[in-house]
Chain A
């Protein structure tokens, strides 16, 4: 009986878990981008779940829509009651119900005929000034119709950012989701938010680790420390790890105020308060010692899972051309460089000096090379300082966030960032390099990640030590359709980044639009699904992936115990999912490591896993004992959340 129920539950969603599409009469390129960004792939003719009609409505569109999702791609369909009026409207800005305040502007305006839609169509987006509908749809018996006033454009992401959200509103939901995203978190934006609420949302969005701004807690402060502890606890309860995110040479506001004598200086001779960062002179031995002590204490004071040493180099993106932003120019650096090169680098910025940068580029070159070397030296020093804490917390994972200078080679001179020198330091400490794509590349589109990844794969073959950061911020460039990456653009960026790098971080959780969260894990997934029998699904994936599933499940014929109410966590590789007879008495409802295998019996559950950092398992019930690699780990767990050791292990949960 329960098997029948399980099959029914699996099949019930039908086309609404659509995984394939077909374009009839039109270019499939844009749709490959749009639908591909959430894992929907092109299928042979007449076998797809989603039919995109390119030039005219397909014959029998109404009948087709009964059990397919039919997308009318800038076409009218009198049979469906979609007719054109004689009046035209020039569309340049649209408003969408998924983000009514978001300015969605088309770079190239289009003159279209306004369209009369049937009353039962839900209008998702309208032209800003006339209210003419441009994106609408309705559910049908077992499918849906989605109508667009125009084709989606060459790139697929230039007109309807919330097209996929509209599909979700029409009943579609993704079948495969990643659970492996990282996100940056700055508590100053969230200090009054409920950590438990945030953590639940993050996990739903596929986040497995957050990198929490640690400079707010550099000095002990009861209220701020308490909030951070609550955040860490809430994250752990939701299978999310927490990294301490450091932004040295910014230490903290309090440290800046307390030590004006250790402040970094710009080439214009001023204290280096640039944007929000207040930079300190970490080359000063006393300053370095004081900061080291603070960092060590910080890492001890909280239950971190790792540390992210981020952006430890110099300012600014304008390089030496803007002395008011150029660092370092503190006394220690000046003295050290003078000792090596024979002149004070300050002279580079003095008009008429014998070393003026404009007239003596070779002098500037010397300093820029010295500066890049200094940045690497500082990174080594601080990685060593952090490594000392591993004597107390050996499980701490290290991440180094570093701006790219391989793709945009000007970055080395502008910031002193030289990733080719930094990478060996990272590799030696078994850390992860989190590549930040510079703002200069943001306008290049999603395909930049593949090219960026190629550049880094030339430097290292340890692909699992490479990650990439997507900056979700309002961009200063003329970008369309939205200033900030949201909707389709974000999904495509994330999809390409996930394919190219494996590990993706999002900067930052607060800048993500809420309407995007539900589809982020689908965009980050890299799994291929196929239906191999009416009630069986084959999943191929290189990492553990969340697959939508309700009811008991067997993987490769064996009852599988790693599943929640709505999904099953499928390990990497090729696996066959089928309905099982009974849900095991003990299950792992969520897990943020890499599952290798799992066996379940009446009184125990064995899980083989791998994780760079401590892994977190959320169990369906309390257990009487936990063994790791055959040794007792916990006599009993009062808690359904278990933090497991980093590395490759077999853990046994006894009921």
Chain B
């Protein structure tokens, strides 16, 4: 009986000792050994959820799926295994064979083509044979259909459509994209009513690097009256709203696309280009004379107010939708007057629409009309739409300067070549409005805070100066107060205790910490968050009292100037020049420097909004007598900050 608790403990230990997902994978192999494929597949999926990088398990799942006849899924699992281990030629061959069987002949041919140049003779032979098995029929087919077209009395007659179609498909499968594009273009001339041809052309043109044409085809397809074509195009088009010239390019490809033309007309309206809008509306009416909504819009633009009430009633639903859409689009594009006008109209049509109220608040706010904006945010925050109310409530309190509890976290991990060390600075701060202070909370905010100031090395040994600590190596817990920012100036002060996480020989484990100062920060021009590229200048000045540094006052003045660039798809960067000046009252050598040098900052679309990567190459001069020489330092840092209300 005594062994039982021991055995139980052993079992628990085994359960905890196993790598996550291991138990599921072991059970999957057991199920596989009894040909219970359904169970094995489910267990492999569970195991792989915990071990997504396990290439072998992906492969074994693929083989299990093959037993169950699930070739498409098996293909995808081999592909995953291949992504994890690009040298696995078995997985590559399996993927290629299955790609061919599952109607992905292009991928199959390309993979075999690559593998037939493998140094492994077995792989080479198999791949070469498979490649020829795919390529030869394609080549023969191309010759056959070219010959069929050559023999046709009129190779551009409608009856030859299927020959052009076959030829185009074979050419695309053989990666002869030029021929494929030429033939698909003929197909489109013969049957312009086939909307899917736009998607096909976009794919082939894109492969040929004809990016603008591909984009135009996708844009036209995305506004197709055929829902399937429109949805498939949207999946490929991306989220950026097109520019008018892109609409015009798309209309060249698909001039009878009414939705596309109508949208361009409304876009022109939002841009205050009424003549262009009228021209597009007229073109829509020429294609669709019974389109009462467009006729009404055109009449309104021309100042004609003679529409009979019934016609007005008919166009109402379309206008209702358009006013909101146009208002949001105008806001997005920065046409604030139009945005306000359309959104007001939308609000009149549907006074309960919370999204419209929020957008109106944003439009007024961006126009500089904060009193009006506050009213709209106030209305929006009282609606029953949780997403809108959260956003509106935040904007409402921000604009009013209401003291709302908020949490701010910032962090700056940095690697320095000068010290061969990684430093990290950060702070978690929670502001707490004090109820008995009433309106005073608007001018001064009280907070509790935890700062971190540390590095990886802990200390450096300098032959001339002995062991030196490179950071405070401490968590600093404090309570403080900060003023409301006034003309870019903010004052603050805090008192607390710094708790070192190292046992240091220069200070005790817990040290009282008092600090405070004045901060000034201002930027000019196209800063990193700006939508357009251009020049910028940033300046940050601080005067800081720190009790821990022998009750010293430090002065920092940092300047960055340069250019901001956008690389497309949300990527942005800055090329800049730094000038940093540091001085103190006590005349410490380390606190009296000038640093200059170039730097870059980078932002990618997957980063949170207030994050960027910075790399600075600085040359530093000591401005007072120093035991250390002047220095060069390459600093790689990541800045991240986030503030959450309530």
Contact = CB atoms under 8 A, between A and B. Distances in A.
Interface of A: 85-87, 92-93, 103, 105-109, 111, 128-129, 188-190, 192-194, 196-198, 266, 268-271, 273, 318, 321-325, 351, 478, 480, 483, 510, 514
A106 B228 CA distance: 8
Nearest to A101: B72
A87 B145 CA distance: 54
Interface stretch (B9-17, B383-391, B612-620): B383-391
Given A197-B35, A269-B151, A192 B66 contact: yes
Nearest to A107: B227
B352 interface: yes
B588 interface: no
Contacts of B355: 86-87
Interface string B365-408: 00000000000000000011111100000000000000000000
A194 B384 contact: no
Nearest to B71: A189
B69 A193 contact: yes
A266 B151 CA distance: 12
| Residue with the greatest number of chain B CB neighbours at <10 A, chosen from A198, A268, A480 | A268
Contact of A103 (B148, B163, B231): B231
Given A85-B386, A193-B68, A193-B69, 5 more contacts: A92-B231, A322-B163, A478-B228, A480-B227, A483-B228
A86 B353 contact: yes
Nearest to B158: A321
B176 interface: no
Interface residues of B, number: 40
B145 A86 contact: no
A270 to B, nearest CB: 6
Given A197-B35, A270-B148, A86 B231 contact: no
Interface in B147-181: 147-149, 151-153, 159-160, 162-163
Interface in B43-97: 66-71
A479 to B, nearest CB: 9
Contacts of B153: 351
Nearest to A198: B69
14 contacts: A86-B384, A86-B388, A87-B385, A87-B388, A106-B227, A108-B227, A111-B321, A193-B68, A197-B67, A198-B69, A318-B162, A321-B159, A324-B145, A324-B162
Contacts of A325: 162
B387 A87 contact: yes
Nearest to A106: B227
Nearest to B353: A86
B312 interface: no
B281 interface: no
B259 to A, nearest CB: 12
Nearest to A483: B228
Interface string B125-145: 000000000000000010011
Contact of B159 (A105, A197, A322, A478): A322
A84 B230 CA distance: 28
Contacts of A269: 151
Main secondary structure on chain A at its contact with chain B?
mixed
A194 B37 contact: yes
Contacts of A107: 227
| Residue with the greatest number of chain B CB neighbours at <10 A, chosen from A87, A129, A351 | A87
A85 B388 CA distance: 10
Contacts of B152: 268, 323-324
Given A105-B231, A190-B69, A85 B159 contact: no
Nearest 3 CB-CB pairings of A with B: A193-B69, A324-B148, A86-B385
Interface string B350-364: 001111000000000
A406 to B, nearest CB: 26
A49 to B, nearest CB: 30
Contacts of B531: none
B101 interface: yes
B211 to A, nearest CB: 24
Contacts of B69: 189-190, 193-194, 197-198, 510
B268 to A, nearest CB: 23
A480 B37 CA distance: 33
Contacts of B147: 268, 270
Interface in B553-592: none
Interface string B213-228: 0000000000000111
Nearest to A109: B227
B232 interface: yes
Contacts of A514: 70
A243 B291 CA distance: 58
Contacts of A483: 228
A192 B67 contact: yes
Given A103-B231, A108-B227, A86 B159 contact: no
Contacts of A324: 145, 148-149, 151-152, 160, 162-163
A157 to B, nearest CB: 16
Interface in B389-447: none
A129 B237 CA distance: 13
A188 B231 CA distance: 33
Given A192-B67, A478-B228, A268 B162 contact: no
Contacts of B383: 86
B160 A322 contact: yes
A139 B354 CA distance: 33
Contacts of A106: 227
A255 to B, nearest CB: 16
Contacts of A108: 227
A128 B227 contact: no
A85 B386 CA distance: 8
Given A105-B231, A322-B163, A193 B66 contact: yes
A480 B383 CA distance: 37
Given A86-B385, A87-B385, A196 B232 contact: no
Contacts of A105: 227-228, 231
A459 B416 CA distance: 90
| Residue with the greatest number of chain B CB neighbours at <10 A, chosen from A93, A108, A266, A351 | A93
Nearest to A128: B231
Nearest to B70: A514
B311 to A, nearest CB: 22
A537 B256 CA distance: 61
A543 B127 CA distance: 52
B357 to A, nearest CB: 10
Interface in B18-44: 35, 37
A268 B149 CA distance: 9
Contacts of B145: 324
Nearest to B144: A270
A207 to B, nearest CB: 14
Contacts of A273: 141, 144
Contacts of A266: 148
A86 B66 CA distance: 48
B231 A85 contact: no
A323 B155 CA distance: 12
A109 B230 CA distance: 11
A323 B228 CA distance: 32
A92 B230 contact: yes
A103 B228 contact: yes
Contacts of A129: 234
A216 B359 CA distance: 65
A193 B41 CA distance: 14
Contacts of B232: 103
A323 B159 CA distance: 9
Given A86-B388, A189-B101, A323-B152, A194 B227 contact: no
A515 B151 CA distance: 47
A483 B35 CA distance: 33
A270 B201 CA distance: 29
A638 to B, nearest CB: 22
| Residue with the greatest number of chain A CB neighbours at <10 A, chosen from B35, B148, B385 | B148
Contacts of B353: 86
A443 to B, nearest CB: 13
Interface in B443-480: none
